[in-house]
Amino acid sequence: MITATNIRAHAVNTVAWLASAQATIVVPVYQRQYRWDIGGCEQLLSDIRAVADRDADQMHFIGSILSAADSSSPRSGDDTEEWVLIDGQQRITTLMLLVAALFHTIRDEDTALAAELERVLLHAATGDTKLRPHREWAGAFRDVVVGAADGVPAPSRFADNYAFFRSQISADDVARVWRGLQRLEHVAISLGTGANAQQIFESLNSTGEPLRDHELIHNYVLMGLSHAEQLVIEDEYWAAIERSTGDHIASFWAHYLVMVGGREVATTASGRGVYDVFRTHFPRLDPVALRTLAEQWRSFAQLYATLLDPEGEPDPEIRARLHYLNTFGRGMYPLVMALYARHRAGEIERNDLLSVLDDLQSLLLRRDVVSVGSDRLVARLVRASREGIDALAAAISRQTPSDDRVRVALKHSPLPHPEYVLSRLADVDPAQDDLVIDHVFPPAPSDDWTGGDGRRWKDYSEDEQNSHRALAATLGNLALLEEPLAAQVFDADFPDKRTVYGRSSMTVTQPLASIETWGTAAISGRSAELAQQVMTLWRRRGPLVIDDDGLTPILDAIPRRGWPRGWER
């Protein structure tokens, strides 16, 4: 028989394991945040009540718990032994919150039972909690289990789930729930010094609620380090990355890897494509190299924070363009982050950066106008940027739809990002809260609506009505208005709207006051006029060339002698 020497596994009673007087269970810094929700707590409580009502020899299995002795922590004897909780912190933390709820419910009514519960929660000699989250969350957890100094724990997922348990368990129900808790068991897996904790951790997390990519990256970066090294990386670098990126940390890592690799990061069957690419890109992370990389990650995370909220950029023109780009989402962040970093390092001139940011707006708006996606475009632009600004400008131009193609789409298709487009045409900030879009011809007119030609909507033929509806969301039928004025003209007839349009300070709206009647001809005419302004403001640089796929829509092709003129319409 072959015996494993670095891994020991055996079934244990979960409550007895938690109540052990000789161990503190430590949640390491690389673990994900506690995130069990109320639904998970409700299911756990239901399972515990169910096993409590069964025969005494019936147990409820909660899975495996993976831990390892922490050889780097100082000890003053067996009673201070620490075990690092590698897998299982979500379940163990929730059980501790449930025990705390039982303890606080019964402590003034049944001191004997309260003492049993307290042995699970706290070390008798020190009063410290048996479970110790890492420093960032330890205070919030202790406030719930022991009690906050002011009696009110700070808002946290710990407090939410504890409050749920308190609300569901009466004093009469405590004994039953405690009986069920004592019938929980798990497989305790203890690792020796030669075990591959990372591989075992990933194997165990292949089932159940999967870790997110950024949590796996966090774990991968820190797991092979000593406790002291983990604290350095966590405190000096990782915490700063999390502060900078906030809820967008997952997208930060995806965009960072596209930036450094120049390749799309695809979602894999395992659902952890970003993590797999990270491991491929950084196969070995020794402590010395890790600090250098961590400094880079922290720096790029700070830049990413500015992309998310450009108000942190001191240059007003760069700041405005970053705001404009956010209109189109975050798809171009890998490219913009790389260019922004090079500009900060003095490698790219300010005017070159501004020019590229303008080109990207043109690219994204024009592709949205003609309904061509940009999802898989950024990686090839990242690669082009490595050849210089001119090469990047040419690559952007090759992917930017032509004037002819955009004009046709603006005439017949709904306008994407109307607030952004009309605000830019009016030379006002698209972020202004008091500006709204008004449909000159309302999408759902009343029977009595008139365009000023004496006819009512109910008198229009079916074809005429359909023609109007088809153009309702196009550029020519949209007006940018101050909110108080827009409230006056909502669903109004065009003659009434025309008077109000004349009072608007929006230069793109004022000319509507000089139009006598409003119908499909007026909409198409205004679309053509504004389309020319769109071509100028969101221009396409460079010669018209065939794109990288070798397929060019007819309206993007270079006109040749002998072509019929019909395609231009």
| pLDDT tens by residue, 301-352 | 999 999 999 999 999 999 999 999 999 999 999 999 999 999 999 999 999 9
Q: Is 218 part of any domain?
A: no
Phi, psi of 286 (to 5 degrees): -75, 155
Does one domain contain both 330 and 193? no
Q: Is 555 part of any domain?
A: no
pLDDT for residue 5 is more than 60: no
Q: Is 140 part of any domain?
A: yes
Distances (CA, A) of 179 to 12, 50, 118, 264, 552: 16, 10, 15, 53, 72
Q: Is 278 part of any domain?
A: yes
Mean of the pLDDT values across residues 409-435? 95
Q: Tens digit of pLDDT for each residue in 124-177? A: 888 889 898 877 788 889 989 887 555 677 788 999 999 999 999 999 999 999
Does one domain contain both 418 and 529? yes
Q: Is 60 part of any domain?
A: yes
Note the pLDDT of residue 205: 58
Range of the domain at 341: 310-402
Rg of the chain taking only CA atoms, in angstroms: 32
Q: Which amino acid is at 390?
A: D
Q: Which amino acid is at 375?
A: D
Q: Is 22 left (phi over 0), alpha (psi -120 to 50) or beta?
A: alpha
Domain boundary among 256, 285, 308: 308
Counting residues of the chain whose pLDDT is more than 70, the rounded percentage is 87
Q: Would you give the end-to-end CA distance of the chain in angstroms?
A: 82
Q: Is 213 part of any domain?
A: no
Q: Is 314 part of any domain?
A: yes
Does one domain contain both 235 and 373? no
Does one domain contain both 74 and 181? yes
Domain boundary among 308, 323, 358: 308
> Per 3-state DSSP, what percentage of the chain is helix, strand, and coil (rounded to 5)?
55, 10, 35
Spatial contact of 7 and 190, defined as CB atoms under 8 Å apart: yes
Does one domain contain both 232 and 258? yes
Does one domain contain both 250 and 274? yes
Does one domain contain both 134 and 167? yes
Note the pLDDT of residue 78: 46
Note the pLDDT of residue 76: 43
Q: Tens digit of pLDDT for each residue in 59-100? A: 999 988 888 776 555 444 445 578 888 888 889 999 999 999
Spatial contact of 453 and 519, defined as CB atoms under 8 Å apart: yes
Does one domain contain both 168 and 79? yes
Which ranges in 502-545 belong to alpha helices (H)? Answer: 520-537
Domain boundary among 256, 276, 308: 308
Spatial contact of 132 and 28, defined as CB atoms under 8 Å apart: no
Note the pLDDT of residue 75: 46
3-state secondary structure of 174: helix
Does one domain contain both 258 and 186? no
**Total number of domains constituting the chain:** 4
Does one domain contain both 263 and 348? no
Does one domain contain both 418 and 296? no
Q: Is 219 part of any domain?
A: no
Does one domain contain both 179 and 105? yes
